[in-house]
Amino acid sequence: MKKIVSVAPMMDCTDRHDRFFLRLISKNVMMYTEMVATKSALHGDRKKILGFSSEEKPLALQVGGSDKKELAEVSKIAEDMGYDEININLGCPSKKVQKNKFGACLMKEPELVAECINEMVNACNIPVTAKTRIGFDDTEDFDYLNNFILKMKDAGSKSFIMHARKAILKGLTPKQNLNIPKLNYEMVYKIKNENPDLNIIINGGISKVEEIKKHLKKCDGVMIGRVIYQNPYFLVDIEREIFNEKNNPTREEVAEKLLKYLEKEVKLGTKVNHIMRHTVGLYHGQIGSKKWKKYLSDNMMARDSDFQKAKHIMTIVQNNEKANQIIA
């Protein structure tokens, strides 16, 4: 499985429609679902919560929980549904998540995490991975982090995504927790150095191809979140420069394929805005960017937007492409 670059799990962003859209741009990146709580996965509308289309693969299910039996059950379900990996969230600092005892607060409980991972590994045959921070509150200590990783390794996990900043569990909002604690890439590099047999994927604040190349000299993979959501076509730079992919789609081709998906999904009852909201950044940094955003907000963000309006979008796309070609 290629995991050199992956798109980060992001609540309210990387749902199945966003992943389908991103996959139209990039064949090679690994994708992650938004975090799904074990209880929702087990007791909710499974098709709605866990369903995906095969085009999205390779795809990991990210799960939030600390009940080992539930985690094991969800791991088996993930495997049966065709997910390529199951990932446990050990990095989310939100109050709600802490109250339910999952996410970053579990970094305080290495024994419990190891038990959970062990049960998950025993329950399925897909890789069980973890996404962590490098510390929490006053703890940003190499030995603590390394011992935590070693416990998870002993429990059967070989692959770790490390968001290179600590989580502040009290006093910062989730958004502040993505920006205020300082990035410390060296800590992640050191973990990789100390554990060359583990697959270490670095995450946090990575926004340029040059940075990806630099991190790949020290780690096994790079995970990127916000920059890809804001500028999905950045994936073409990644395809070209990192995966050496020469045949990449134009924005027009992406929009054309997305329309076919939209038509199919609308017939199944999906709202137009649930798909199109993810495409706001398609023209990021391009001449037609403002026009594209305005068209989307005027025509496609309402809950009752219809597909006929979506069809007209190709005119906007073609005009944008022409405008950019003239400048180029």
Ligand X SMILES: Cc1cc2nc3c(=O)[nH]c(=O)nc-3n(C[C@H](O)[C@H](O)[C@H](O)COP(=O)(O)O)c2cc1C
Binding site for ligand X (CB under 6 A): 8-11, 13, 34-35, 62, 89, 91-92, 131, 163, 178, 203-206, 224-227
Rounded to a whole number of angstroms, the minimum distance from the CB of residue 83 to ligand X is 15
What is the Cα–Cα distance from 237 to 292, expressed in whole angstroms?
21
Tell me how far apart the terminal alpha carbons of the chain are, to the nearest angstrom. 37
Residue 284 C-beta: closest distance to ligand X, Å:
15
Q: Which has the closest alpha carbon to 138: 164, 97, 165, 166?
A: 166
Q: Which helix (H) or strand (E) holds 230?
A: helix 226-230
- Active-site annotation holder among 13, 92, 105, 116: 92
> Quick one: which of 179, 176, 152, 15 has its CA closest to 94?
176
- The answer to whether the beta carbons of residues 272 and 307 sit under 8 Å apart is yes
- Cβ of residue 177: shortest distance to ligand X, in angstroms? 9
| β-bridge pairing 36-37 and 85-90 | unpaired
Which of 226, 291 has the CB closer to ligand X?
A: 226
Rounded Cα distance between 219 and 201, Å, is 6
Minimum separation from the CB atom of position 55 to ligand X (A): 21
CA distance 306 to 24: 22
- Minimum distance, C-beta of residue 82 to ligand X, in the bound complex (Å): 21
Q: Is 13 marked active-site?
A: no
Question: How many degrees, rounded to 5, is the angle at CA 231 between CA 84 and CA 183?
Answer: 75
Positions marked active-site: 92
